[in-house]
Amino acid sequence: MTEAAVLGYGTVGSGVVEVIEKNAEVIAKRCEGLHVKYILDLRDFPGDPYEDRLVHDVDVILSDESVKVVCETMGGAGAAYDFTKRALMAGKSVCTSNKELVELHGAELARIAKEHNCSYLFEASVGGGIPLIRTIYRALTAERIESIFGILNGTTNYILHRMELAGIAFDEALKEAQELGYAEKDPTADIEGHDPARKIAILASLVLGKKVDYSSMYMEGITKVEPVDMEYAKALGGSIKLVAMCEFAENGVYAMVSPRFIPKDNPLLCVRDVFNGVLIHSDMLDDSMYYGRGAGKLATASAVVGDAVECVNHPGKNVGHCWSEEKVQLKDIGDLSFRYLLRVKQEGAAAAEAAFGCEAKAQEGVNGETAFLTAPVTERDFQKKLADLPAVIRYYRV
């Protein structure tokens, strides 16, 4: 039996304890078994079934040589960074769901783990319970990954899904998501696209084995999406979803987050509600798709515990990724070519069609406006032409 500790007894941390306890029998078939010896939290939990394992001082855990695996579910990049570093330096493997810390310091922490013959694993930091990271470093190892295109934020996918289904405005759908506990009280990171940007930065980093910085990425959130945009998308057979993508081209790497028109032939159209879905395009396999719960207590905890099992099975060894601290400079997305769903005032429709070409029309003359799909054009040329077309109300890349 391997002794483990859980840092942070919030939603995911309590989920980790629950998964280890409930699935103890299954876990024991796949490794020598996991036991939670300590739970670290500043708070007390009177009456909690695991109250006796609660400690308030991280040094109790770090100085206990019997603890081999630490599950960090505290979040943030402050104390979590310090505790993770110290645990790794003590030769304890760390498994986490903390995407903020992974995006910011993952390469450094992976190096420290390697230097101390233990592991830093973070499957749960991207796509919650969906095995995406292990797929990249374990399964697709004979593949040259060419692009990743995915819905990596459950909250915004829920909001857009509700706007589409019920025809409600963004604010109302956000309120609903908050009432259901999907969206945070401060939902900025989700609705402005920072959360999926962090996640695609982590995936891109792992593909490249170098560091992609999310803050240098083009990011656009969903706050400006209107129910009428959804209607146009529906009339064209698709929908609007917040997509995080990266493309590994010969001349460099492109990455961005923005709301996109998903046409009917794209399997991501079926990714609804709070679910996540990711399409990986690679040179031998072609497209492969990964779908599931990208958030939530047990789904996320399951991925953390899966990593812990991997650590138990590799005592004194480093497993995981090759991830150096060398930074990658992202290429300008102006080079990329897209089709666009354009929403335009009727009086400027002819000029917009002449400028971009029209592949399909959504509707003609509703409320004095119309929408159509353009022919492919580079982002750079699109923006140049757009400057002379004040009648364009909104656009979505396809």
Catalytic residue positions, numbered = 199
Q: Is 103 in the site for ligand HSE (CB under 6 A)?
A: no
Strands in 2-7's sheet, in edge-to-edge order, are 54-55, 34-40, 2-7, 67-72, 93-96, 120-121
Which residue's structure tokens are 């959804």?
230
First to last CA, the chain: 51
Q: How far apart are CA 218 and CA 196, in angstroms?
A: 12
CA proximity to 158, closest of 296, 38, 22, 25: 296
Q: Is 295 in the site for ligand HSE (CB under 6 A)?
A: yes
Q: Is 155 in the site for ligand HSE (CB under 6 A)?
A: yes
Q: Cite the DSSP H helix spans in 182-296.
A: 188-191, 194-208, 227-235
What's the farthest any 2 CA atoms get from each other in the chain?
A: 74
Q: How far apart are CA 71 and CA 174, in angstroms?
A: 31
CA proximity to 290, closest of 137, 129, 124, 155: 129
Contacting ligand HSE within 182-201 (CB under 6 A)? 190, 195
- Minimum CB separation from ligand HSE for residue 151, in Å? 9
Q: How far apart are CA 211 and CA 325, in angstroms?
A: 6
Q: Is 302 in the site for ligand HSE (CB under 6 A)?
A: no
Q: Is 100 in the site for ligand HSE (CB under 6 A)?
A: no
Q: Which stretch binds ligand HSE (CB under 6 A): 49-57, 59-67, 140-148, 150-158?
A: 150-158
Q: Is 153 in the site for ligand HSE (CB under 6 A)?
A: yes
Q: How far apart are CA 14 and CA 302, in angstroms?
A: 11
Binding mask 195-234 for ligand HSE (x = CB under 6 A): x---------------------------------------
Q: Is 369 in the site for ligand HSE (CB under 6 A)?
A: no
- Minimum CB separation from ligand HSE for residue 24, in Å? 26
- Minimum CB separation from ligand HSE for residue 69, in Å? 22
Q: Is 128 in the site for ligand HSE (CB under 6 A)?
A: yes
Q: Is 294 in the site for ligand HSE (CB under 6 A)?
A: yes
Q: Is 164 in the site for ligand HSE (CB under 6 A)?
A: no
Binding stretches for ligand HSE (CB under 6 A):
128, 153-155, 190, 195, 294-295
